[in-house]
Structure 1
């Protein structure tokens, strides 16, 4: 009997001990499950843009290549077919905009910098339609400088100490009464670069509680123990200037402090300290996610307000990991970032000489492999340009952008440094960066609150989506469930139809939609309309919180600017025609309805009315007049007349009133195409198609439906050809045509073979000086890398 009682007590005790473990497991599993479910429904992309250089004169051409990858794996993706690229001024007003066709996530383009552009620093930004569903801080951005030589250089503005931006960041997020904390800081000057500072932290009695100095790029850290009912200030010195006073973040009476330390080559130590009334022995939960995957999920019990966990580094993914602390209510309490350097593509690139004379051939061997020396084929872009007092060698690098800049908030000075310097100094600088520029692609409240939010902007899986809005005239009330038609006038007949959704939005899924177009948007009715149609801009109206540094141009650069300007204008004068050549996109020129029966009206005796033409020459049609209104019936290929009027178009623009069709002047029509079958176009069904084509394709003065919207609209950008002269004969070398190019080579399509090899060549110009070549790109598996090479050109 005693044995039975003992056994029961032992069993109950075991159950009581395992109960908290089971509850803890449920909480961890619940957070992990919510995280996985959210990210399985939320597709995200990243965009990187290789710009040929960062300093431009008005009248020059800016060249670029777009790389689109999965935001989770950093591998090329074939989701979006369009990238939007813009150049914005410091007020986010667009100077240049383009829609770039993407093939397997890759696209190329160019901008001519207009001579009307003003001096200043600008943002080149890029994103996809899918990315518009998320914060604009996730768009690609790179600062570029544009100078108009016709405008005098701006004298350097004298800066004051107050113009510097200095901020403090408690590790984990908070300062808590009585808990020892590490505080990181970042000091940035007006030019966006880090500045060196030193200082002390004092309390309200002017007692010094900590000292600090910058370590690298304006960042550093210090440790102190804040106390409640105390206020703390940082007394900061920048060089020999007067001291600057900054308040430290507020001290919380209760809360958590998290500290991350490197515990050796294989592990990280996560130390949690808490100040909680009567809850110093509560369970806590730590999750580490890399990209969109939970890599580590651990549970610990606070003991007298403290706990420590060890994380195996090998379990974390490459790049930025977010280590988040939760309580039993699944509330995120603290977060800390950690960076694991990724494996990269090893790119080798070297010119065949270090010095060249003018108009000589430069050959460059390129090789791509992984860190184990295995050859990897790669898709690369290459830019070779002159280094001088105006153009520096600080290009955006694909690896540092995708792994660092795209995952952190704010500007990162020399981001490539953190990937290349795998040593004690690099590790400390990297950890300071993780403490000062925390950022997340998602919010935990969104993850834990339930279903993923619905996307407002659809991925452009097939081509550019032209978006329109249908409302009631005068009220702006959306009109749902109504079909509208979008026609692009021109040699190729393009027509699209869409039905409005509950918000009145219309999405027209275009195909092979290149270059400038005139669009005609209308409903399928021509009577007085109570509806209003608008075509919306596809460019994002959200803007990042990052600001451009102040623009200044030293007057000492006036001579360099004048020389570069003269060279550029001379180059445009002699090679202007070659700079305006574009590749043909090679799209199918056939109309959307395919091939039908064609009538060339000049082959027949001409009649003066369209009714006579259709009755006498087109046997497949029956023209009738009912209640004083014309109707047309198309005889199908089975000999049966279709039930309703066909879709009738003039130069690709629909005309829905058959009386107006009869008003077309047949003497201005060159041909008629007849589709004698039922035709489906999106949500629309047509009982045959008739398309009249005028001699010039301009509708020959025929009045378009007055309720239609007609506007010029740019489709996908046509690709400009890069011009680079070839000096392969003595006559060409001795030619007196000047060659003042400072951009010797640009190629967005350099592909290495299965052995990782390729070779490229170009010729030097008449511009002596030092030149830099930048090679960067990506493999199909997402390995990224870059390489620079230098050579000199002598007279």
Structure 2
């Protein structure tokens, strides 16, 4: 009876391996996705060095206008008038919502820029493949301001008033209640957002100093939704030849395996993919017969270093990652702006305020949010964990395995040291399957060097006893080792055929600082020249009323409250109000 059980286990493992081989190479022919649009709510469109450009991303279905659950990554670029990239980042999308920021550096040139945002799915529609907005930067710390001169090479002197804001609080899905027309410096502002109905509202809100002469023309989602109502296709067909595969699980990694001579291969290759460090990840993928591959990285992982190792006589091959095709910006029109001598005092004042605020940044820091996604190991819940600080410490890993870790032992196979895991099914060992050995995300095929590794650097060892299928490979269990620093790859071991890729990490979610003045004497010796009184990139309102509180600073003048967002049923929300600080 037991023999039948062993044979059944073996057959199931083989069938599972075949299934996974097929599953890793899906047929994408004739798969259709409903297209997406993106809108970005920014805190401003005119910046000085030392300021932050905050933004909230709304990715929604092009037809229903409901938040999209297809794409999980948004790509953000800032380009100059020569269409050169100044800034790039990747933003996680959660049910169509994302957030980020960009610090305006001191060495940036004065001029007009464009913020360009897109998903891979949008790139498949040439008519409407990205969102864009104009961003202007005035760098008063450089002498080169020619870009803002008039046609005669002079600085204009005029009586223009710039863009004017109005209180558009009528016939809206949300109403702002309780906002007074005037406040004192360092005063509490308490407002209430009243919903028209009981839909679920997702919105972002910015409260910022408004200077009309700087033309703070912030896009509104209501206008954008109407303008783009009929632009672009409703669906996109994705096939194996599609240039931009939608990132429906996380960031797509695309590349090709070549012979080191540069010639193309003509057989499928097995690749070992590893994310190293404390938050490690391991998988085996199979390329197409021409060497091309694409695989998604689950967004549970904050990725900077990616290791890819060819497993088919790997020393003869080279792995190359593909560079995404750039968006073509032909005939792009950049917004023009002219300096006015009447702006001189405003420019000086704002520059001084920025310098003081940056000097006191430690008193008003932003903080990183804890990940919204639970990070799990690839064998979560199936392991026995040995936390080595709970045991007597031994000098080497070999001694630790022998004295502490049960059912794992060192033996010799074909004149090579290997680990074996004892199981209740002896046939598993007879079939010759070895355990998967991993340390800090690095798969170890030869444990000879690893056996002498200093065990005092090891935090814990996980052991999985049952057979495990990773890609096309069957393993008799897992031995997963984690060091305290997660740096085994850097300091100890890198296979000669392993290619290390440094990827641009996704921008982490942040909790943005909110100033509070509990009494008149609180922090009275610390200057407060905030122009941005409040930025909250993600508010969800499901009840009729929601209260928001913020505090004014030492800066006087007109401030705007700008709110942009979407309801879950696809209705746009745009709201603006102004108040004075005296």
TM range (shorter): 0.7 to 0.9
Please give the root-mean-square deviation of Cα atoms over the aligned residues, in Å: 3.2
3-state DSSP class of the match of 1:707? coil
For the Cα contact (< 8 Å) 2:122–2:128, is it kept in 1?
no
Aligned residue runs from structure 1 range 350-365, under 5 A: 350-365=177-192
> Could you tell me whether the CA contact under 8 Å between 1:382 and 1:776 is conserved in 2?
yes
Matched, 1:388 2:178: no
Aligned partners of 1:153 and 1:555 also within 8 Å: no
Match of 1:469 among 256, 262, 277: 256
**TM-score normalised over the length of structure 1:** 0.61
CA offsets 1:572-612 (integer angstroms, 9 cap, x no match): 2223363342111144354322252234556346355x555
Distance of 2:316 and 2:245 partners within structure 1: 29
Q: Which residue of 1 aligns with 2:562?
A: 774
Q: How far apart, CA to CA, are the structure 2 residues paired with 1:681 and 1:39?
A: 29
Question: What's the counterpart of residue 523 of structure 1?
Answer: 310
Deviations 1:240-277 (A, max 9, x none): xxxxxxxxxxxxxxxxxxxxxxxxxxxxxxxxxxxxxx
CA distance in 2, matches of 1:460, 1:719: 19
1:456 to 2:243 alignment? yes
2: distance between equivalents of 1:514 and 1:717?
Answer: 12
Partner of 2:7: none
- Quote the residue 2:271 is aligned against: 484
Preserved CA contact (<8 Å) 1:484 1:524 = yes
1:52 Cα deviation from its structure 2 partner:
1.0
| Structure 2, gaps ≥5 residues long | 1-28, 153-161, 163-170
Alignment of 1:621-700 (within 5 A): 621-638=408-425, 641-642=428-429, 643-662=432-451, 664-666=453-455, 668-699=457-488
Question: Offset at 1:461?
Answer: 2.0
* 1:582 matched to 2:372: no
Instruction: Check if 1:724 corresponds to 2:511.
Output: no
Given that 2:199 and 2:569 are in contact with CA atoms closer than 8 Å, whether structure 1 keeps it comes out as no
User: Residues of 2 paired with 1:136 and 1:59: CA distance?
Assistant: 36
State how far apart, in whole Å, the 1-side matches of 2:573 and 2:304 are.
Answer: 39
**Per chain length, whose mean CA-contact separation is higher, i.e. which structure has more relative contact order (CA < 8 Å, sep 6+)?**
2
Q: Which has the larger radius of gyration?
A: 1
Structure 1 residue 151: Cα displacement: 1.2
Q: Is the CA contact 1:108–1:719 (under 8 Å) kept in the aligned structure 2?
A: yes
Task: Tell me the CA shift for residue 396 of structure 1.
Answer: 0.7
CA distance in structure 2 between the partners assigned to 1:783 and 1:670 by the alignment:
51
In 2, the alpha carbon distance for the partners of 1:542 and 1:766 equals 43
Q: Distance in 2 between matches of 1:629 and 1:738?
A: 68
Q: C-alpha displacement at 1:618, in angstroms? A: 3.9
8 Å contact 1:579–1:720 — kept in the other structure?
no
**CA offset digits 1:536-582 (Å, max 9, x no partner):** 45x55123432324565446534322321221121122233633421
Q: In the alignment, does 2:500 pair up with 1:714?
A: no
Distance in 2 between the 1:406 and 1:478 partners? 46
Counterpart CA distance in 2 for 1:117 and 1:480 is 48
In the alignment, the residues of structure 1 paired with residue 30 and residue 438 of structure 2 have an alpha-carbon distance, to the nearest angstrom, of 46
Q: 1:349 aligns with which of 152, 171, 176?
A: 176
Partners of 1:651 and 1:781 lie apart in 2 by 44
Could you list the runs of 5+ residues in structure 1 that have no partner in the other structure?
A: 1-37, 161-192, 194-343, 409-439
Q: Deviations over 1:278-323 (max 9, x none)?
A: xxxxxxxxxxxxxxxxxxxxxxxxxxxxxxxxxxxxxxxxxxxxxx
| Contact 1:601–1:670 (8 Å) recurs in 2 | yes
Q: Determine the C-alpha separation between the residues in 1 that align with 2:118 and 2:395.
A: 54
Give the equivalent residue in structure 1 for 2:528.
739
> Deviations along 1:644-698, whole A, 9 cap, x unmatched?
2222122221122344444544454343222112123345433221122334221
CA contact (8 A) 1:515 1:717 kept: no
Shift of 1:702: 0.9
Distance 1:541 1:458, change over 3 A: same
**1:261 maps to what in 2?**
none
User: Normalized against structure 2, the TM-score is what?
Assistant: 0.82
- Cα distance per residue 1:344-396 (max 9 Å; x no partner): 96343355311111111222232343xxxx55442111111111155434211
| 8 Å Cα contact 2:250/2:297 also seen in 1 | yes
1:72 aligns with 2:63: yes
Q: How far apart are residue 132 of structure 1 and its match?
A: 2.3
Secondary structure at the residue paired with 2:521?
helix
Instruction: Give the corresponding residue for 1:542.
Output: 327
1:300 corresponds in structure 2 to none
